[in-house]
Amino acid sequence: MTAIDTTRPVAPARPPFFRRRSAVPGFALTLGLTIAVLSTVVLIPLFAVALKAGHQPPSEFLKEAFSARALAAYRLSFGAAFLAAAVNGVFGLVTAWALVRYEFPLKGLINGLIDLPFALPTAVAGIALTALYAETGWIGALAKPLGWKIAYTPLGVVVALTFIGLPFVVRTLEPVMRDLSADVEEAAATLGAGRIDTIRRVILPALMPAWLTGFALAFARGVGEYGSVIFIAGNMPYRSEIAPLLIIIQLEEYKYAGAAAIAVVMLGVSFAMLFVINAIQAWARRRA
Partner 1 sequence: MSDHPHRLAHEDAPWLKAVVLTVVAAFLVLVLLLPMAVVFVEALRKGLDPALEAIRTPDAQAAIKLTLITAAITVPFNAVFGVCAAWAVAKHRFPGKALLITLIDLPFSVSPVVAGLIYVLIFGAQGWFGEWLLDHDIKIIFALPGIVLATIFVTFPFVARELIPLMQEQGVDEEEAAVSMGASGLRTFWSVTAPNIRWGLLYGVLLCNARAMGEFGAVSVVSGHIRGLTNTMPLHIEILYNEYDFVGAFSVAALLCLLAVVTLVLKTLLEIAQPPSRRVGH
**Cβ closest to partner 1, residue 5 vs residue 183:** 183
R_g over Cα of the chain: 25
By CB under 8 A, residue 220 contacts partner 1:
yes
How far is Cα 210 from Cα 204, in angstroms, rounded to an integer?
A: 10
- Cα separation, 212 vs 163, in Å, equals 18
Site track 6-25 with partner 1 (rule: CB under 8 A), x = hit: -----------xxxx-xxxx
* Interaction residues for partner 1, span 184-213 (CB under 8 A): 185-186, 188-190, 194-195, 198, 213
Q: Which of 62, 76, 157, 170 is nearest to 115 (CA)?
A: 170
Which residue number, 72 or 232, has a Cβ lying nearer to partner 1? Answer: 232
Rounded to the nearest 10°, the torsion over CA 62, 68, 70, 73 is 150
Contact 99, 174 (CB under 8 A): yes
The Cα–Cα gap between 76 and 68 comes to 12
Query: Based on CB atoms, which residue is closest to partner 1, 110 or 236?
Result: 110
Least distance from C-beta 71 to partner 1, angstroms?
17
Among 117, 140, 154, 258, binds partner 1 (CB under 8 A): 117
Helix/strand/coil (H, E, C) string of 97-160?
A: HHHHHCCCCCHHHHHHHCCHHHHCCHHHHHHHHHHHHCCCCHHHHHHHHHCCCCCCCHHHHHHH
Q: Does residue 163 interact with partner 1 by CB under 8 A?
A: yes
The footprint of partner 1 on this chain (CB under 8 A) covers a number of residues equal to 106
Nearer to partner 1, 72 or 114 (CB): 114
For the segment 221-280, give every residue that binds partner 1 (CB under 8 A).
221, 223-227, 231, 243-245, 247-248, 251, 254, 256, 259-260, 263, 266-267, 270-271, 273-274, 278
CB of 165 to partner 1, least distance (A): 10
CB half-sphere exposure, 203, CA atoms < 13 A: 21
| Contacts of partner 1 in 43-102 (CB under 8 A) | 43, 45-46, 48-49, 52, 91, 94-95, 97-98, 101-102
| Interface with partner 1 (CB under 8 A), residue from 62, 69, 79, 118 | 118
C-alpha 135, offset from chain centre: 30
